[in-house]
Amino acid sequence: MSVGFDHMALDEIQKRGIRVGYTPDVLTDATAELTVALLLATARRLPEGVEEVKNGGWSSWKPLWLCGYGLSGSTVGIIGLGRIGLAIARRLMPFGVKRLLYTGRAAKAHAAEVNGEFVPLDTLVSESDFIVVSCSLSPETQGLCDKPFFSKMKSTAVFINSSRGAVVNQDDLYEALSSGQIAAAGLDVTTPEPLPTNHPLLTLKNCVVLPHIGSATYSTRGVMSALVARNLLGGLRGTEMPSELTF
């Protein structure tokens, strides 16, 4: 019951001739919404603000207290402008984003809809105020966001990952966040999942971690469940599955 399949032993499945149904497309909007929410919560320090209200830290007004970073006039870089990446871009542009950069295997025709500029990864990393990772996990993207990656980011930049945890080297991310090399990070995916409660990332105020809830709306999970059931029935009957993974 997911769009991702990196958790499956595909070689063995293929060898045994097992059919696999999955749930692409139906969770695009929910995941894009969550990604935008995570970006805003991280950039504008919402979890810190909630905590300050609860612990009595909210006192008299101070000019720079809980200041964060806004989207208006910014440059946003999206790594992987596929279905979800494009849906994220569509939702971010009305905030007044000045430039939308993206990178991937090849330029995308649909990028014109959001005035997307296809650039090399190094350009995206060094010029973006916000970096959103929405690529699939592959041998090429495993550990893509590592120490050299973070070292090229602006010190005021915000990093968001809602794709797969293994795209990020979490030790390198911790170092970048704790040293002030980058401003903040928001993660909806981690390695492992669940993330141990004593993980160093959870000690940082400038790191917002969610429990992989990208598709967690009642309507989306309902549609996913129905699709899984239809896939299962197709498999049992030896007929077509609505969404079957092709090898």
Q: Mind telling me the catalytic residues?
A: 212
Q: How far, in Å, CA of 134 to CA of 131, rounded?
A: 10
What is the C-alpha R_g of the chain?
Answer: 19
* Amino acid at position 211, single letter: P
User: Taking a C-beta distance cutoff of 8 angstroms, is the pair 96, 124 a contact?
Assistant: no
Residue bearing tokens 């429990």: 211
Q: Which two tokens stand for residue 7?
A: 């958790």
Question: H/E element holding 19?
Answer: none
Q: Where are the alpha helices (DSSP H) in the chain?
A: 10-15, 28-43, 46-55, 83-92, 121-127, 147-152, 170-178, 218-237
Give strand pairing partners of 184. 158
- For residue 118, the cross-strand partners are 102
Closest CA to 156 of 193, 122, 129: 129
Q: Which whole-number Å values give the CA distances from 211 to 36, 50, 101, in the listed order?
A: 16, 18, 28
